[in-house]
């Protein structure tokens, strides 16, 4: 922790309620410069403090340090060659649940994969394979569309969707896609206006899946009709697989809308900054 002794750290934290704004700013900057390794120390100080002023300052500091760590992770993810989807969703998840471990999320997803895998047969036709996945995810495990709280931030938090079994189009598609790809199926995300769906795309078969509607199977013609209804010109991107980065960008956009509807302006600003990281070249 930047060669600061515990005694010096204690002294620094005790200055957080200093009435001199300059002193307080200097102390905050010094603590922030120590990086996220200082968080456990700060959390302990919070527990042992009876000074509500210092507690509030510590909460803000911990949030700033966690947010800074999240940004670093997102930058690393963006430049990583594989851009692993589960890792990207976990990074976003830590915005609301900073203590969530990747291994916990990974284990929960593996359990869902295992349930599907035990019911699965590789020698089936694509439509039949999809029907099996649908049966396990939407009937056995009872995943469903969160139509009551469509704009809840929880719909963009994978851990929350796994706990409640309710999500928005993109989170339900992400779970479906992660399971399907682990089974070796050519299933990918598709970025439609106002809706996120999946495509099964191989040399032998090409159709679409709406995870928000219990895995309903539909065709390219249905997408054309949908776009006509919205008076939107059909372009290639509405029919073709999108990247994992596109999924993370869309998840962040959903999160911004969710916080805007709740009037959480500070969170809107923070998530917009995350979106900028993803969208800037």
Based on the domain organization, do 25 and 133 belong to the same domain? no
Residues 188, 174 contacting (CB under 8 angstroms): no
In this predicted structure, the answer to whether residue 178 has a pLDDT above a threshold of 70 is yes
- DSSP letters, 193-234, are TTEEEEEEE-SS-EEEEEGGGTTEEE-HHHHHHHHHHTT---
Based on the domain organization, do 142 and 272 belong to the same domain? yes
Residue 155, domain extent: 85-279
Distance CA 164, CA 143 (A): 8
Based on the domain organization, do 75 and 160 belong to the same domain? no
Tens-digit pLDDT profile for residues 40-88: 888 888 888 888 887 888 898 999 999 999 999 999 999 999 999 999 9
Place of tokens 């997803």: 109
User: In DSSP terms, which residues pair with 19 in a beta bridge?
Assistant: none
CA triple 208-214-220, angle to 5 deg: 15
42 CB neighbour count, 10 Å cutoff: 20
pLDDT band at 2 (very low <50, low <70, confident <90, very high): low
Asked, for residue 242, whether it belongs to a domain, the answer is yes
C-alpha 198 chain-centroid distance = 18
Based on the domain organization, do 118 and 249 belong to the same domain? yes
Q: pTM, whole model, 2 decimals?
A: 0.89
pLDDT band at 1 (very low <50, low <70, confident <90, very high): very low
Provide the angle, in degrees to the nearest 10, between the axes of the packed helices 169-182 and 126-134. 120
User: In DSSP terms, which residues pair with 167 in a beta bridge?
Assistant: 145
E strand spans, 50-121: none
> Among 79, 107, 125, which residue terminates a domain?
79
Residue 191 parent element (H or E): strand 187-192
């Amino acid at each position: 922790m930047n060669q600061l002794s515990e005694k010096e750290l204690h002294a620094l934290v005790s200055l957080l309620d200093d009435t001199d704004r300059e002193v307080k700013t200097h102390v905050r900057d010094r603590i922030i410069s120590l990086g996220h390794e200082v968080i456990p120390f700060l959390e302990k100080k919070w527990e042992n403090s009876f000074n509500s002023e210092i507690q509030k300052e510590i909460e803000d500091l911990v949030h700033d340090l966690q947010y800074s760590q999240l940004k670093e992770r997102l930058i690393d993810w963006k430049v990583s060659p594989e851009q692993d989807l589960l890792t990207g969703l976990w990074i976003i998840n830590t915005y609301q649940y900073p203590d969530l471990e990747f291994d916990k999320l990974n284990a929960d997803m593996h359990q869902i994969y295992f349930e599907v895998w035990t019911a699965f047969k590789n020698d089936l036709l694509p439509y039949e394979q999809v029907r099996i996945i649908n049966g396990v995810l939407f009937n056995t495990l009872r995943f469903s569309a969160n139509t009551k709280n469509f704009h809840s931030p929880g719909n963009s938090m994978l851990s929350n969707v796994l706990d409640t079994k309710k999500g928005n189009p993109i989170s339900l598609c992400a779970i479906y896609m992660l399971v399907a790809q682990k089974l070796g199926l050519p299933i990918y995300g598709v970025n439609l206006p106002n809706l996120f769906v999946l495509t099964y795309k191989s040399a032998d078969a090409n159709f679409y899946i709406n995870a928000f509607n219990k895995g309903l199977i539909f065709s390219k013609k249905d997408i054309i009709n949908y776009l006509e209804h919205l008076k939107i010109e059909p372009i290639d991107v509405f029919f073709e697989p999108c990247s994992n980065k596109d999924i993370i960008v869309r998840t962040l956009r959903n999160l911004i809308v969710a916080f805007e509807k709740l009037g959480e302006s500070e969170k809107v600003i923070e998530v917009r900054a995350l979106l900028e990281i993803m969208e800037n070249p």
